[in-house]
Each structure stands twice: as structure tokens, then as C-alpha cells.
Amino acid sequence: MTTTTPSAPTRARPYRGTKVRRQRVRAAWTFLAPMLVALALVAGWPLLRTFYFSLTDGTLSTLGDASFIGLENYLVYDDGAWYGLLTDPMWWRSVWNTLFFAVVSVSLEVVFGVIVALILNVEFRGRMLVRAAVLIPWAIPTIVSAKMWAWMLNDQFGIINHLLMTLGIIDAPIAWTASATYSMWAVILVDVWKTIPFVALLALAALQMLPKDCYEAAEVDGIHPVRVFFKVTLPLITPALMVAVIFRLLDALRVFDVIYVLTSNASSTMTMSIYARQQLVEFQDVGYGSAASTLLFLIIALATVAYLYLGRNRLQLGGD
Amino acid sequence: MSKQSLITAIALGTAALAGGGQALAADLTISCGAVGVELELCEQGVNQWEEQTGHSVDIVSTPNSSTERLSLYQQILSANSSDIDVLQIDVVWPGLLANHLLDLGETLGEDAAAGHFPAIVENNTVDGRLVAMPWFTDAGVLYYRKDLLEEYGFEPPETWEELTAIAREIQAGEQAAGDRIWGYVFQGRAYEGLTCNALEWVASHGGGTIVDAEGNLTVNNADAASALDLAASWIGDITPEGVLNYTEEEARGLFQSGNAVFMRNWPYAWSLAQGEESEVRGRVGVVKLPHGEGGNSAATLGGWNLAVSRYSENPELAADLVAFLTGEAEQKRRAIEGSYNPTLERLYADEEVLAAVPFFGTLYDTFANAVARPSAATGESYGRVSNAFFDTTHSVLSGEMSATDALPQLEGQLRRLERRWK
């Protein structure tokens, strides 16, 4: 966007309203317009439509003559009891499940991603090969890798149970994807396995940009490598990690595929997206499902704003 | 491979796909299930029709989980899409999908369904329109290992308590001998199949059918609670915990590889358990499902029908294919080769059929008097009712709640839905 950024000397002069300025602004809008139109079509319009549908009683087969019912899909008082999405315990359970999944899986991914990046940052023979190999989990389509894990986690024939039993860690097979205690951890495991490469890649890119002189100075002063990591490396790669976390957080909050393949609609792992899909597709209830989708959107927006707000100071420190 | 040749290869591949797509455009598209040998049988039947008529038919296979298959159909049909002409639909769907389906009585003649079980024909008739032709019927049955029961000196169980005791003893005995075997497997994933299983437990304890024929909620009663509590007590004892994620095929996998004493499944598993690749070939028996204290054995009515989409571009041709596939010759072939229950009453007296599947004769009453799921009483809400029921059952089975706590909650949930069907 060099067209809109005035160069330093001209900034000082009063400049607003000149011909050049107007031309530049017009050029900027011309360049931006296609993107804005595309965004409005593929993001803005569906979002507005979903919000509108959440205020109707439409079903998938009667979308044409859905009638407006206000906020009844969200909350309604009828016959001495409250009904609606906000009173549905299953909805709140899926909200909790989603938040738990997002926080735990993203934290684990960042920790392991940084470790992998540190290893890949060291010079050793065959480093290029290992770097390519690390990317494989990220490259496999989620449906395929989730199906693969479903077989490995199978209670009777799965290799995970077989290994653990051979090693004597457990003495009876565990039903990883079926039991209410383990299924959440099983899906977290698969998600972490899949997305470590993504975090590792971003962290590695940041690591390779680090100035060598800090490390040389630290070495001369005889600082312990662990201290160097926490005092030099981590602060310097934090901006990159913040970006990785925001990408991952957005993904994790709307997680659907990996969980749906592994545990289907089971309530112990139901997320907001799975809940919304169930209402929209399985029950054909476009009104109620759209209400769930709208809340899902608001919760994600809220989480993102909160994260950016909390991370703002650090971003500014690290960014400039 | 250089970049240039890669691009050429992709371009060629795309051209070939596009060209092939046009050349293969078929007159009709049929969706068939793919549980067990279902897809092969469907292909063979369709091929015969193709030879007879000279038309071509594409077969698409659909998800094995009936819950997911319904979602897929509903999406295709709500979009008024002509992609699929002939649909294989579950016995609980005619009411849900009727608006999108053709009246086959009009195209095939008023007596199109003569000779089929009247109950199924009635089930498929919505507001006087015959929206689907019966293809095969289903009812839950109990498979058992004849050799093991004989070895331990047991008769097939009459009650659930007997089943529990026998399964426990054989499982302990075999495990002591170093053989990892489970007592009882069924379909426990949170999906429509669990509704079928749990309905059998509840109904056979005298606990009703969730919602009665008049649309009143009946599920919250002591018999239903004891049925579900009994089922929950199996998990981890005679049933692997993994059953909570099993559909029909996972249960069959365990039984057919010799790792289970008892299995609840549909009749289709018979021809596979007796097939050449089966580890338990010749050692399998089938009886009706056990019953609880003060109840009678109950088998959930299942089964699949063939319907023609209203948006089909070749409705008459599609109806002809349906008539062929649901006809006597085809039903007989499917009964003998795949142990799919015919819907034509006279085939249950056919000697060749009975020779291939003896229990079609001995369990005739079970098939004729199977318990229907409350799809008629709840209409468009059936999906939600079933979902609430299998979710509750699933949480009782997984030990999150006891049945006495869960059933009042379920009743509350259904109360909210009741507004929709009453």
C-alpha cells in the first residue's frame, strides 16, 4: 500500500484536499473495492442472513415462508417455564467443551511447537528432510488423519491399546473414543498431533530471523542456555507466537471435523459447531440452528477481542 | 517431474474427468446402503435391471449411520435436487420425507404393494399416498455362539438376567483359559441404532415405547429405569466400554472374529457370520431377544424401503426400477444371498429361503410383531425425540447418570418438544 502511505518529508506539510491526495485516496479505494465486495458477498451477506434466520421459525424445507418470531429461539417464557437456546443445558455444555478444547489444545500446541522449532533450528545433517517430514501431519486432510487415529485408538483392535498393554502400562484396553473420561483427551491428542507443525513452522521462521549477536554476547558472559531461552529467545519470538495462537484459537473455537469423525454427536465432546450442525442439518431447524451459529460467532469474536486486548502490550513491545 | 509436465498432466487429467463425466451420464441414480454386503447385492440387482431394460444406472453409496444418511437426504431433497432418483429410506422416515416423494400408487397402480406385510405398507402410506415400496424388513435378534453355550451347558437365554449370568460365566471361563472374549455386544454409539437397542430393553421390561400411540409421554417409569440400569451394568462387565462407540458393523466385527458370546444385531449379520471368511462359521445360533421381569420379548421394527424423489427427471423409469428391486424374484435372491428379510409374506414359506436362513421360519412371529419406534405419533419431531432418547441412554450407559436421575430429565426435555407434535 505504498500509494496511501505518504513519505516522511511530505507528512509535515498541510496536504489534505490537494489533487494528488484525492487521487491517491481514489486509487486506494479502487484497489480495495474488489476485496470489499468479495468480503461482503461471502462473509457479510451470509452472516446477516444467519442472524435474520435466527429470528424466524424457519425449517430447511419451509425456508420460503418462515415467520418472524423475534428472540424466541434464544429465550422465551411459555407456560410457566423458560425455553430457548440460552436455557438448553446441552448448549452450555458444548460451549464449555469448546472452550476447554481450545485452551488446552492451543496451549499444548504452542509448547510442543516451540520445542520442535528449536530442534529444527539446530544445524544437523538431513535437517531439510526432517523439516519436510514434520509437516506431514499438517498436510494430511483432517478427515483422513482423524479416521486413521480412530483406527489406532480402536478399543479392541487399535495399535495404541496394543502398545500400552505390551508395555504393561494398562492391563485392559481403554475405549479412547467412547468413554466419557478419555474421549475429550483423545480428540485433543489428535488435534495437537495435527497442528504442532503449523506452530512449529511459524516459530521456526521467527527463530531464523533472530540476531546472532545476542547469543554470542550471552555465550561470552557464560549464561545458561535455559536462561538465554527465557530471557532472549522467547521474548523475541513472542510476536510470531501471538499470531500462531490467534490463528489456532480461531480454528479451535470452531472445531468440527476432527471431533465429528472421532466421536460423532457424543455429548461429552460436543462443541458449539457440532451443536449448530445438529440443529441445522439433523433437525432441519434453521431458526434455532442459526441462533446457535450467531452465538457461536459472538463468542468467537469476544474471545478474539479479549485475546488481542490482553496481548496488546506484548505485541507492541515485541512488534516495534 | 518438472513443473511444465506437471501442469500438462493436471490439464489432461481434468479434461479426461470432464469428458468421462459426460460419457457416463446415466439415466437414473440410486442410493444404496453399504452395511455388510448391501452394496454388492444392490449392484447385482441393478445390473439385472439394466440388462433387461437397456438403461444405465449410477449407484451412490451413503453413510452407514442412518442418522447421517437422513441428514444427507434432507439436504439433497430440500434443495429440490434431481441428483438422486431412487432413495433407500428407513422405516421411520416416510412421514419426514413424504412431501419430497412420489406417490408410487399412482405410477405403479393401486395394488403395487399387494402381498407385502400390511403394517409396512400402512407405515409407508402418508395421507393416502404410497411414498415408498417395502424392500426388506428388519427386527433385532440375538446371535449366540452355539459351541460355547453347549460347552458350558447352557440353553439360549430367555430373560436378560439369564443372558447376563451366562455371558459372565462363559467370559470368565474363557478368559481364565487365556482367551480374551466379551459376553455381549450391541450398538451403543449415540445414534439411531441405540434408540433401537434401548427401545428393545425398555419395551421388553414392560416400560412402553417412549411415546405412546396417542402421543403421550410414557418414558419416565420404573420399568424403563430398571431396563436402562441393567444395560448400564453390562458396560465394563460383560460388554466392552468401546461399545459406546459401536454401530452395527463394529459389533459384527467383534462377534464374527470370535470375540463375543452374544450379539444383538439385525438379520443381515447372519449370512456374513456364516460366510466363508467368518471365524465363527457354523457355530452361530439366532433366537429372539430376551425379555425382562414381567415383560415380553420385543424387537424393534427396522427395515428399508425404496422411494422415488419428486424431483427426478425420469420418474416413471425410476418407479420401474423400484418395482423390479422390490419384486419377488429380487427379494428372494436377497434373502438367500444376504439374509435380508423379505417383505412379501409368501416368501417366509419358500423352501429355498428357509433352507438358507432357518430362523426366518422360527422367528416369523418376531418379524411380524416387531415394535415400531414412535415415529408416527411424533411426526416431524421424531428425529429430536430419538436424539434425546439415545443421548440420555448413552449417558446412562457411560455411567454419567443413573437411569432414575436421567429419565425425569429426559421427560422434561421431551415435554419441551411435545409442544411441536400435540
Q: C-alpha distances in angstroms, B126 versus B94, B95, B98, B100, B211?
A: 7, 7, 7, 12, 20
- Residue B219's nearest CA partner among B385, B3, B395, B40 is B385
Among the partner-chain residues A83, A90, A175, the one whose CB lies closest to the CB of B241 is A175
Strand partners, B291: B159
| Mean model confidence pLDDT for chain A | 88
Query: Given pLDDT bands bounded at 50, 70 and 90, which one contains residue B22?
Result: very low
User: A160, A282, A286, A288: best mutation site toward chain B, by most B Cβ within 10 Å?
Assistant: A282
In tens, the pLDDT along B394-411 reads 999 988 899 999 999 999
With beta carbons under 8 A apart, name residues in chain A contacting B179: none
Confidence of residue A316 (pLDDT cuts 50, 70, 90): low
Average pLDDT, integer, range A115-132 = 90
Contact list in B for residue A61 (CB cut-off 8 A) is 74, 77-78, 99-100
* Strands of the sheet with B133-139, listed across from one edge: B57-61, B28-32, B86-90, B301-308, B133-139
Q: What is residue B289's predicted lDDT score, i.e. its pLDDT?
A: 96
Burial of B8-37, coded b for 16+ CB within 10 Å and e otherwise, reads eeeeeeeeeeeeeeeeeeebbbbbbbbbbb
Model pLDDT, residue A83: 82
Please tell me if residue A283 touches chain B, with a CB cutoff of 8 Å.
Answer: yes
For the ranges A11-20, A67-76, A254-263, B390-399, which has the lowest average pLDDT? A11-20
A156 Cβ under 8 Å from any chain B Cβ: yes
A266 touches chain B (CB under 8 A): yes
Which ranges constitute the DSSP H helices of B178-302? 192-204, 222-234, 248-256, 269-273
Which has the closest alpha carbon to B97: B379, B302, B323? B379
Query: Grid coordinates representing B94?
Result: 416416510
Helix (H) or strand (E) holding A308: helix A286-319
Contacts of A175 in chain B (CB under 8 A): 240-245
Integer Cα distance of B271 and A171 in angstroms: 35
List pLDDT tens digits, range B329-360: 999 999 999 999 999 999 999 999 999 999 99
Q: Where residue B16 falls among pLDDT bands split at 50, 70, 90? A: very low
- Can you read off the three cell numbers belonging to residue B221? 417409569
Residue B137's H or E segment, with its range, is strand B133-139
**Which helix (H) or strand (E) is A22 found in, with range?**
helix A19-39
Containing B311, the helix (H) or strand (E) segment is none
B contact test, residue of A261, A284, A285, A288 with most B CBs within 10 A: A284
Position A282 pLDDT exceeds 90: no
Given this model, what pLDDT does residue A200 score?
95
Alpha-carbon dihedral sign for residues B78, B122, B304, B208: positive
Task: Reply yes or no on whether the pLDDT at B23 is more than 70.
Answer: no
Q: How buried is residue B72: exposed, middle or buried, by Cβ count under 10 Å (0-12/13-18/19+)?
A: middle
pLDDT tens per residue, range B110-124: 888 899 998 899 889
Q: Which CATH number, 3.90.1150.10, 3.40.190.10, 2.160.10.10, 3.30.70.270, labels domain B141-300+371-418? A: 3.40.190.10
- In B, minimum Cα distance to A269 occurs at B190
Nearest to B209 by CA among B405, B38, B329, B389: B389
pLDDT tier, A298 (very low <50, low <70, confident <90, very high otherwise) = very high
Residues B203-215: what's their mean pLDDT? 91
The listed CATH number (3.40.430.10, 1.10.3720.10, 3.40.50.1820, 3.40.190.10) that belongs to domain B3-131+302-361: 3.40.190.10
Residue of A nearest to B382 (CA): A283
- Element of type H or E holding A202: helix A183-208
Identify the helix (H) or strand (E) that includes residue A83.
strand A81-83
Q: What is the dihedral of CA B226, B232, B234, B235, to 10 degrees?
A: 180
Indicate which of A53, A57, A60, A61 best probes the interface with B, i.e. most B CBs within 10 Å of its own CB. A61
Which chain B residues are closer than 8 Å to A157 by Cβ? 253
Task: Report the range of poorest mean pLDDT among A171-180, A289-298, B48-57, B192-201.
Answer: A171-180
Whether residue B240 lies within 8 A of chain A, CB to CB, comes out as yes
Chain B residues in contact with A268 by the CB 8 A cut-off are: 398, 400
Partner residue opposite B242 with nearest CB, options A155, A268, A284: A155
Contact B241 A267 (CB under 8 A): no
pLDDT at A66: 83
3-state secondary structure of B399: coil
Q: Exposed, middle or buried by CB within 10 Å (0-12, 13-18, 19+), for B118? A: exposed
- Average pLDDT of the residues of chain B: 90
Q: Is B408 on the interface with A (CB under 8 A)?
A: no
Is A272 near chain B, with CB under 8 Å?
Answer: no
Beta carbons within 10 angstroms of residue A301's beta carbon: 12
- For chain B, percent of residues with pLDDT exceeding 70: 94
Q: For B392, which residue in chain A has the nearest alpha carbon? A: A267
Residue A1 has pLDDT above 60, yes or no: no
The mean pLDDT value for A237-258 works out to 92
* Residue of B242, B384, B419 with shortest CB distance to A178: B242
**Residue A320: pLDDT band with limits 50, 70, 90:** very low
Higher pLDDT, B183 or A79: B183
Contact B332, B342 (CB under 8 A): yes
Q: What is the mean pLDDT of residues A281-301?
A: 92
Angstrom distance (rounded) from CA B202 to CA A217 = 75
Mean of pLDDT values over B165-170: 96
The band of A309, judged by pLDDT with boundaries at 50, 70 and 90, is: confident
Spatial separation of the C-alpha atoms in residues B334 and B321, rounded to whole Å = 16
Lowest pLDDT segment from A7-16, A216-225, B99-108: A7-16
Would an 8 Å CB–CB cutoff place B179 in contact with chain A?
Answer: no
**Residue A60 with chain B: CB contacts under 8 Å:** 74-75, 78
Q: CB of A255 within 8 A of CB of A142?
A: no
The string of pLDDT tens digits covering residues B136-157 is 999 999 999 999 999 999 999 9
Subunit contact A282:B71, Cβ cutoff 8 A:
yes
CA distance A160 to A155: 9
Note the pLDDT of residue A314.
57
DSSP state of B371: B
- Bridge-partner residues for B265, per DSSP? B141
| CA gap B372, B386 in Å, rounded | 12
Tell me the per-residue pLDDT of B248-264, one tens digit each, with 9 for 90 and over. Answer: 999 999 999 999 999 99
Q: According to the model, what pLDDT value does residue A3 have?
A: 45
Nearest to B78 among A61, A83, A267 (CB): A61
- Looking at residue B340, its pLDDT comes to 94
- What is the least distance, in Å, from the CA of B383 to any CA of chain A? 6
pLDDT for the residue numbered B19 = 41
Q: Is the pLDDT of residue B192 over 50?
A: yes
> Which amino acid, residue A314?
R
pLDDT in tens, A129-188: 998 999 999 999 999 999 999 999 988 889 999 999 999 998 888 889 888 889 999 999
Residue B421: per-residue pLDDT: 76
Q: Do A175 and B244 touch (CB under 8 A)?
A: yes
Residue A15 pLDDT grade (very low, low, confident, very high; cuts 50, 70, 90): low
DSSP single-letter state for residue B344: B
Best to test chain B binding among A155, A277, A288 (most B CBs inside 10 Å):
A155
Interval B269-289 mean pLDDT:
93
Interface test with A, best of B241, B393, B417, B419 (most A CBs within 10 A): B241
Cβ proximity of B268 and B36 under 8 Å: yes
Q: Does the model's ipTM exceed the 0.90 cut?
A: no
Per-residue model confidence (pLDDT) at position B119: 86
The Cα of A3 is separated from the nearest Cα of chain B by a number of Å equal to 35
Q: Would you call B190 and A265 a contact, using CB atoms and an 8 Å cutoff? A: yes
Helix, strand, or coil here: B273? helix
E-only strand ranges, B4-53: 28-32
What was the pLDDT predicted at A88?
87
Query: Would you tell me which CATH number, out of the four given (1.10.3720.10, 1.10.287.70, 3.40.50.2000, 1.10.620.20), belongs to the domain A89-284?
Result: 1.10.3720.10
The pLDDT of residue B17 is above 60: no
Q: Which spans in B145-262 are helix H?
A: 146-151, 160-176, 192-204, 222-234, 248-256
CA–CA min distance B384, chain A (Å): 7
Size of interface A-B (CB pairs under 8 A): 87
Q: Does B185 touch chain A (CB under 8 A)?
A: no
pLDDT in tens, B302-324: 999 999 999 999 999 999 999 99
- The alpha-carbon gap from A178 to the nearest alpha carbon of chain B, in Å, equals 5
Determine, for residues A283 and B383 on separate chains, whether the beta-carbon distance falls below 8 Å. yes
Domain boundaries along the sequence of chain B: 3-131+302-361, 141-300+371-418
Q: Give me the residue from A263, A267, A278 closest to B395, CB to CB.
A: A267
For residue range B362-400, list pLDDT tens digits in order.
889 888 888 989 988 887 788 889 999 999 999 999 888
Give me the residues of A, 72-131, that contact B with CB < 8 A: 78, 83, 90
